[in-house]
């Protein structure tokens, strides 16, 4: 150990990489690394590493804002991780080595190796240093290979691999990396491997780095790593199974087979970090980014406090990934043809690599309307399709929007039941009487399912009263995209014994998509993009207040969760609830105004 300590004391930590550092690269948004490394606060900033703090900036809140939602999720992730470890402590031989801030500790590294040699079943927050591969960090769990199947009561590892020795530790077992995530694990149809959705690519890459470091230390690198999530979901042949038992199933990562692509991805990510650290002081964003990696990925919403500067850069360069269906791979195709902006007349579906068809035509239509000044909206095939125009004499139209609290906002309990913490806490219901806009809001008083049931029953009572008053028999619920339909179905399942009525939904989003309707200044088909563009072009009269504390669905969720947590009985007179209601009102009203505009003009 003395020789190792001597080597470590001379280590250049600027050449070492923690697995958390490759996250942005694997999310295809490496720009974020450079912004953080060089304290960039605007597109005109000069790179500066002086007094660089290795954390998200908090000294210029006017520029960055505060991503309270991400902070909240991370906090609950830490709580979940701690509770999982407490559970394991009660059942198995465990030891905690350190904390994340001790990742560079030589003593903690040596302590980890000693515990591995002693054969501790589960090592929590062990410290790994790999000077050959330039990796260091603290994986959540290191679990003995010959105990892992017993601990999780299933054949996670084949028996022959369980007994693989560690040559450098001189033990008849080796250790496996398991990361704990307060996330739902979406499994492939085989019920084993992890789909590459949400943050899973980051988890896979980070676990591979830990596994590489562990392999150097013990003399054997496992082909497997695992994720322990709060819940798993698997869909096969249109049948979905799931479990909230976090010990029931781990997400398997197989770096030799199913996930072999991550070997190159992680190597590329590490090369990027070193290049960015050593050469980044020479780069800039203006007038155009110096290198391809500095172009923003506008499809990545996991950008924490960097949204403002990404939006600033996007506006400056007319970034290709801000266009509907155009991700980083489409941008690469355009860059290969020397096309760097969607405003370039050469930027079209052919350059972007789309095959002829519906998407091909829609992307071209979006680009064309946004590169001209005459037309504010182009409806294309809308006039030949009348499904949106009139729903019948007996039908009353309602414009509906749900606000939800999902299971990430629930208590971090280690429940083994199959109930989720998903709940709808607000339903906005808009309608018109004699062409005058009306709106009702239905909310829960407490964050529980009994209140949710009362709310939806109250909504249906009001709908039925309105139907009688207006001499109508059939309600139709107009919404935008698939969320409301999915959420209502889940609500019905949560209250199955009450046999709640089905809702006849009509998706206005599909009217735009199917008929190739495009609006000037809208680069995609989100409700915010379409409604804001129509408002700015004076086609509708309502839009959201950008200064409101509740500016999106995630903000509404977080504000509501905190309100219900700290208030015994929540009424609609609460200031926070008023902010959320205002946000929801606009969500509903713009639906009415958009459909009214189409009917009045086409």
What is the predicted pLDDT for the residue at 35? 97
Residue 55: inside a domain: no
* CA trace torsion 365, 368, 374, 379 (10° rounding): 0
Residue 550: inside a domain: yes
Contacts of 4 (CB under 8 A, 6+ apart): 106, 110
Which of 218, 238, 269 is the C-terminal boundary of a domain? 269
Contacts of 73 (CB under 8 A, 6+ apart): 182, 408
Residue 166: inside a domain: yes
Q: Residue 391 maps to which CATH number?
A: 3.30.420.10
CA 296/CA 277 separation, integer angstroms: 18
**Considering its fold, how many domains does the chain have in total?**
2
CA 48/CA 35 separation, integer angstroms: 10
What is the predicted pLDDT for the residue at 351? 98
Instruction: List pLDDT tens digits, range 263-303.
Output: 999 999 999 999 999 999 999 999 999 999 999 999 999 99
∠ CA 147-148-152 to the nearest 5 degrees?
A: 120
Residue 456: inside a domain: yes
Phi, psi (rounded to 5 degrees) for 176: -120, 145
CA 284/CA 34 separation, integer angstroms: 10
Q: Which residue segment(s) compose the domain that 531 sits in? A: 383-601
**Residues 261, 397 within the same domain:** no
Residue 288: inside a domain: no
- Helix or strand (DSSP H, E) at 343: none
Which of 269, 303, 335 is the C-terminal boundary of a domain? 269
**Residues 116, 256 within the same domain:** yes
Instruction: List pLDDT tens digits, range 123-181.
Output: 999 999 999 999 999 999 999 999 999 999 999 999 999 999 999 999 999 999 999 99
DSSP string, 39-64: T--STTPPP--TT--SS---S-HHHH
354: left (phi over 0), alpha (psi -120 to 50) or beta: beta
Low-confidence ranges of the chain (pLDDT < 50): 1-7, 51-66
Within 13 A of 187's CA, how many CA atoms are on the CB side?
24
Confidence (pTM): 0.92
Residue 308: inside a domain: no
Residue 359: inside a domain: no
Q: Which of 114, 124, 119, 139 is nearest to 88 (CA)?
A: 124
**Residues 260, 387 within the same domain:** no
Residue 63: inside a domain: no
Which of 243, 269, 295 is the C-terminal boundary of a domain? 269
């Amino acid at each position: 150990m003395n020789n190792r300590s001597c080597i470590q004391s001379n280590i250049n930590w600027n050449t070492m990489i923690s697995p958390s550092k490759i996250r942005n690269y694997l999310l295809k948004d490496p720009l974020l690394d450079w912004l953080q490394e060089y304290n960039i606060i605007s597109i005109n900033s000069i790179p500066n590493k002086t007094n660089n703090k290795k954390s998200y900036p908090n000294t210029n809140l006017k520029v960055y804002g505060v991503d309270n939602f991400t902070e909240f999720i991370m906090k609950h992730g830490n709580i979940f991780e701690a509770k999982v470890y407490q559970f394991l402590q009660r059942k198995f031989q465990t030891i905690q080595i350190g904390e994340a801030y001790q990742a560079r500790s030589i003593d903690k590294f040596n302590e980890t190796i000693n515990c591995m040699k002693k054969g501790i079943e589960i090592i929590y927050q062990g410290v790994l240093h790999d000077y050959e591969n330039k990796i260091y960090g603290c994986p959540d769990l290191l679990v003995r290979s010959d105990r892992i199947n017993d601990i999780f009561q299933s054949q996670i590892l084949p028996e022959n691999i369980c007994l693989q020795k560690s040559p450098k530790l001189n033990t008849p077992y080796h250790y496996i990396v398991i990361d704990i995530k307060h996330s739902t694990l979406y499994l492939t149809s085989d019920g084993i491997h992890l789909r590459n959705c949400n943050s899973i690519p980051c988890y896979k890459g980070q676990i591979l780095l830990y596994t590489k470091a562990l392999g150097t230390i013990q003399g054997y690198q496992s082909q497997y790593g695992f994720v322990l999530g709060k819940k798993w979901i698997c869909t096969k042949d249109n049948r979905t199974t799931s479990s909230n038992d976090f010990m029931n199933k781990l997400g398997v990562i197989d770096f030799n087979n199913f996930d072999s692509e991550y070997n190159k991805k992680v190597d590329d990510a590490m090369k990027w970090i070193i290049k960015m650290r050593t050469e980044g002081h020479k780069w800039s964003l203006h007038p155009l980014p110096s290198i391809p990696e500095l172009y923003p990925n506008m499809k990545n919403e996991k950008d924490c406090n960097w949204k403002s500067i990404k939006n600033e850069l996007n506006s400056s360069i007319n970034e290709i990934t801000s266009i509907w269906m155009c991700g980083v791979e489409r941008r690469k195709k355009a860059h290969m043809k020397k096309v760097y902006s969607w405003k370039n007349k050469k930027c079209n579906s052919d350059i972007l690599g789309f095959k002829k068809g519906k998407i091909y035509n829609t992307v071209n239509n979006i680009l064309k309307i946004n590169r001209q000044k005459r037309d504010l909206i182009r409806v294309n095939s809308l006039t030949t399709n009348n499904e949106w125009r009139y729903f019948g004499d007996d039908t009353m139209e309602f414009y509906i929007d749900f606000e939800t609290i999902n299971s990430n906002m629930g208590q971090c309990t280690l429940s083994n039941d199959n109930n989720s913490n998903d709940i709808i806490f607000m339903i906005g219901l808009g309608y018109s009487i004699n062409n005058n806009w009306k709106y009702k809001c239905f909310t829960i008083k407490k964050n529980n399912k009994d209140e949710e049931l009362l709310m939806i029953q109250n909504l249906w009572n009001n709908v039925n009263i309105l139907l009688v008053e207006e001499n109508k028999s059939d309600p139709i619920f107009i919404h935008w995209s698939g969320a409301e339909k999915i959420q209502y179905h889940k609500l019905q399942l949560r209250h199955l014994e009450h046999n709640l009525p089905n809702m006849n939904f009509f998706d206005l989003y599909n009217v735009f998509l199917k008929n190739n309707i495009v609006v000037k200044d809208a680069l995609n088909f989100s409700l915010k993009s379409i409604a804001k563009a129509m408002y700015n072009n004076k086609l509708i009269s309502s839009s959201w207040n950008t200064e409101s504390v509740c500016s999106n669905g995630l903000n509404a969720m977080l504000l509501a969760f905190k309100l219900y947590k700290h208030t015994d009985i929540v009424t609609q007179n609460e200031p926070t609830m008023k902010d959320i209601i205002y946000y929801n009102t606009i969500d509903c009203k713009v639906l009415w105004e958009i459909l009214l505009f189409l009917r009045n003009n086409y």
